[in-house]
Structure formats: C-alpha cells, structure tokens
Structure 1
Amino acid sequence: MQLGDQFHLGIVTAGLAATMDALTSVFGYEWGPEVGGPTTVRLPSGDAVLDLRCAFSTSVPRLELVRSIPGTLWEPAPGGIHHVGFWSDDVAADTAELAGNGYVLEAGRNGPDGRPFFTFQRSATGFRIELVSTAARAGLEQCWASPAQRTAPAQRTAETDRP
C-alpha cells in the first residue's frame, strides 16, 4: 500500500441528493450515477446483506458519497469524512499490515475468486481506511467517467464491485 494508491474520500450522508447539490453549489463538483444495491458483507457479527449505494464525483479530488445505513458502520461521521479509500493489489496482505498497526477490521467482502475484494478497517483514533482490490478499478472508473467515456452503463453488482 502506497500513498499514491489513495483514490477517494468517502462521506456517508442521510441525504445523498442534498449533499451532492450542496457540494456542487459550493465547490462545483459534478457527479456520476448513483450505483450499488443489496450486497453481502462480512461484519464482526457475521454476514449481512446491506443496501450499499453511492455516487462518485467526476471531479477531483474524488469524493464518494454513500447513503447511510443506520445501525452499521455506514453512518455519517461527526467530522464529515467517513473513510479514505485506497487501491490494493493484495487486500488480504494490506489488511494484515493494517491490523499489525492496530487497525480493527469492521467489514469486508470477498470477490468471486474467494479473495478479499474490499475491507473497512479503523484505527484506535477513529481513522478509517477502505481497501479496494485493483481488480475493481476498471468497473469503478466507469462510475466517474463522463457519459461519453462510459463503455457500458455504470451498473455495479454485488459480485463484481463495491460501494
């Protein structure tokens, strides 16, 4: 994991459209489509199917706005930023490295190959990292591509992508 692998800041919000509108009005952000849906995630309490939905900015620095899910880790953060997202060539190894530095695994999902596809880990001070497999990169990049650049509708599925 390298600093250059950081690719987004995640913000969880109860009002996705209102947050998008506010960030557009104040900063000029533009947005890709809302994507996601029912996704099985591994939580400390066991597997759960959650309706994970988000939208990525087409503007940079890249933001991911995630619809809040009460009673889960996907609730708005007091300071606004919920997580920092990093690409990972080896989610399992990077998860272990973060664990060795005191980060606790909060959620994860395996990909179709059975290997970790994404994880959320939190430090003792509350700093949350999301690791996303580089196998998801081409699909996720469609979420912030301009409509003319999209090769197919940005339709993420639980088996191939993650919010």
Structure 2
Amino acid sequence: MENNVFGVRAADQFHVGLVVDDIASAADELSTLWGYEWCEELSGRSHVVLPDGGTELELRSVYSVTTPRIELVRSIPGTLWQPADSGVHHLGYWSDDVAADSAALARCGHPCEAMGVRRDGTAHWAFHHGPGGPRIELVTRALQPVLERIWAKGREPS
C-alpha cells in the first residue's frame, strides 16, 4: 500500500546511526558484545548547510560490515552530531531525490537540521528531526553502489 507523502519507503532504510565520542571504543564494544565487524573509517571535510548558513565540517564515521548495518559517527560539539540519550541518533534511508524528499519531510513537520551539498549545489544527504523519535537521514541512492563496495570489502575500495 502506497500511502506515504514522498518517495522514500520503509524498505529504503539501510542503517541505524549512533553518534559516539570515541568511534574505536564503540566499535570494539559492539564487536565484543554482538560480533560486529567494521569497514575502515570514512572521513573528510564536507560542505554542510545548517539553518543559519553554510559551513565546512570534518565528518568521521564507520559502517558495520555486519547486518543489520550500524553507522558510528564521531560527535562534533556544538552541532546536531551529539550522542542521543536513547543511543539511536538517526535512521538512514536511501533517497532518489534528496532535495525533494527533504522538502516533503519539512512540510510534514520534520525540519531540516543539516544538508550536505556537493560543490555544484546538489544535495546528497540531509538530516531531519521531528517532534518525536530519532532523526531521519536521507542519503542519495547514487552512493549506494559505492557504500556496497566498501561493505563488501570491509574497507575503502582501491
């Protein structure tokens, strides 16, 4: 049954995001407790549009190779990337049109807190937070094959 207001569906969910102060320590704990295995850490500067304007942030994260997939994100003081009381910071969904899906979420009462944009201005991810529940991260489906290669190898492709 197709009853949602935009193009993202429940089946598009691909990870649960946890924001942590120490990625290595959190990964070790999840490995010890549940047997998770991890890719190499991903990091880089990203242009991020926040409600009060654009900025550059150093984003660092690691995805589990093991499913269900977990993303550990390093906390950044003074931003939305802070550890959540419940542990779950966000649910990540693939999107075929991040800008359009982001606008639809905002119209439904889930304002955009941050949007990653490429140099050409194209949105490639966005974080939204509504009145209840964890944040929602929309990620361009164009990144799916890249991340699937990383997950399959357990490290960044050569």
Give the TM-score of the pair, scaled to structure 2. 0.89
Question: CA separation in 2, counterparts of 1:151 and 1:106?
Answer: 28
Partner residue, 1:157: none
Partner residue, 2:81: 74
Aligned-partner residue type, residue 151 of structure 2: W
Partner residue, 2:4: none
Partner residue, 1:44: 51
Q: Secondary structure at the match of 1:119?
A: strand
Partner residue, 2:5: none
Aligned-partner residue type, residue 22 of structure 2: G
> In the superposition, relative to structure 1, how do residues 136 and 146 fare at CA in structure 2: closer, same or farther (>3 Å)?
same
- Give, in angstroms, the shift of residue 151 of structure 1: 8.1
> In the superposition, relative to structure 1, how do residues 47 and 151 fare at CA in structure 2: closer, same or farther (>3 Å)?
closer
Q: Secondary structure at the match of 2:153?
A: coil
Aligned-partner residue type, residue 35 of structure 1: L
Question: CA separation in 1, counterparts of 2:91 and 2:35?
Answer: 21
Identity %: 47
Give the TM-score of the pair, scaled to structure 1. 0.87
Structure 1 consecutive aligned stretches of length 4 or more whose deviation exceeds 4 Å: none
Structure 1's unaligned 5+ residue stretches are 154-163
Question: CA separation in 2, counterparts of 1:139 and 1:80?
Answer: 27
Q: Count residues with an aligned counterpart.
A: 151
Structure 2's unaligned 5+ residue stretches are 1-7
Partner residue, 2:69: 62
Question: CA separation in 1, counterparts of 2:137 and 2:156?
Answer: 26
Q: Secondary structure at the match of 2:80?
A: coil
- Give, in angstroms, the shift of residue 87 of structure 1: 0.2
Q: Secondary structure at the match of 2:78?
A: coil
Question: CA separation in 1, counterparts of 2:157 and 2:40?
Answer: 12
Aligned-partner residue type, residue 157 of structure 2: A
